A = this chain, B = another copy of it.
Amino acid sequence: MSVSPSINVAVIGASGYSGIELLRILLSHPNVRLSAVTSRQNAGKALTEVLPQFAGYPGGASDLVFSSPTIDELVASGVEVAFLALPHGVAAEFAVPLVKAGVRVIDLSADFRLSDPAVYEEFYGQAHPAPDLLASAVYGLPEIYASEIHRAQLIASPGCYPTSILLPLIPLLRSGLIDPSTIVVTSMSGVSGAGRKEAVPLLYAECNESVRPYGLPKHRHLSEIEQELSVSASSPVKITFVPHLVPITQGICTTTTAKLTSRFSDVSQIEGVMKALYRDQPFVRLLGEGGYPDTRHVRQTNFVDIGWHHDERTGRIVLTSAEDNLWKGASGQAVQSLNIVNGWPQTLGLL
């Protein structure tokens, strides 16, 4: 006799791009039963009326209706895991009572990524809405914090830029091969990263044939990037980070450089520390010295591809990485955490 391993999952706030990709993944996930899809704006409408691309999908897509339940109703309905795909600030309003009610929460917003509420206030311009919960929240980067994620009740899924920046840098910082004070990061993000909002600068005719930097010098994601880099370096790290908007829908390409330290003697060391950390990680693909990532190769996947080059002329390492900002940079990574929480293979429903 066997028992179905399926669990009841709710997606809170499913009208943005991350929410849509989250639905796409969860509808096909073999161990997930989508028991609630909430949206204040679309409450009462059929999922496939609002998102016709999901007509004919498995996972009961045709029967799902957007709802707008109270927390009590959500809990009473037997939801075991709630994904929060909400703006920062709003997410905490849901997280607090859900956690209290014993529901496991995977939050895609920034609300619980920072351990220090003062840093939150500095970067997000408002007092932290639930500082008491910060201590128990886990930064949901599976390649680094898998065991913490497995035990956590509140998982703060990382931002899109941070994922593409942290994964290449962490092994090098841990090993002392690079000088943390010399890190310069340039990222190029697809337009979906800016959200599904009515805004002239995100119109097709504004973004097509357009490449432009923005968010200087203190993009919000810097706060979690520097927090995690500092952990890896065992000392405070500050970096220069320049994000750009490029005309693709999905994808982030990140180029990171730093000065090599005296511990560095040969480029094979890079491969050594990368492999030591990521050898068994199903979603990190090491392209090796000389390899180039391409956002097209990771589109609609949970992979992050990492290559590197030694610039002997300047004594710098150049790390290049690519991911899908909506998958490994948001929803895919959140489902990866769901799998870890439940002890399922990390790749379940993602590959």
B213 in contact with A313 (CB, 8 Å): no
B238 in contact with A204 (CB, 8 Å): no
Pick from B202, B213, B250: contact of A292, CB under 8 Å: B213
Closest residue of chain B to A203 (Cβ to Cβ) is: B202
A210 in contact with B296 (CB, 8 Å): yes
B247 in contact with A206 (CB, 8 Å): no
B295 in contact with A211 (CB, 8 Å): yes
Pick from B196, B206, B285, B295: contact of A210, CB under 8 Å: B295
Bound-state CA distance A190–B244 (Å) is: 14
B283 in contact with A238 (CB, 8 Å): no
Shortest C-beta distance, A119 to chain B (Å), equals 13
Pick from B203, B204, B314: contact of A240, CB under 8 Å: B314
A153 at the B interface (CB under 8 A): no
Bound-state CA distance A219–B305 (Å) is: 22
Bound-state CA distance A106–B294 (Å) is: 32
- The stretch among A53-61, A73-81, A168-176, A331-339 that forms the contact with chain B is A53-61
A248 at the B interface (CB under 8 A): yes
Could you name 19 residue pairs across A and B whose Cβ atoms are closer than 8 Å?
Answer: A53-B296, A53-B297, A57-B351, A58-B347, A181-B314, A196-B203, A197-B200, A203-B204, A204-B206, A209-B248, A209-B251, A211-B253, A211-B294, A212-B293, A212-B295, A213-B293, A216-B309, A217-B318, A238-B314
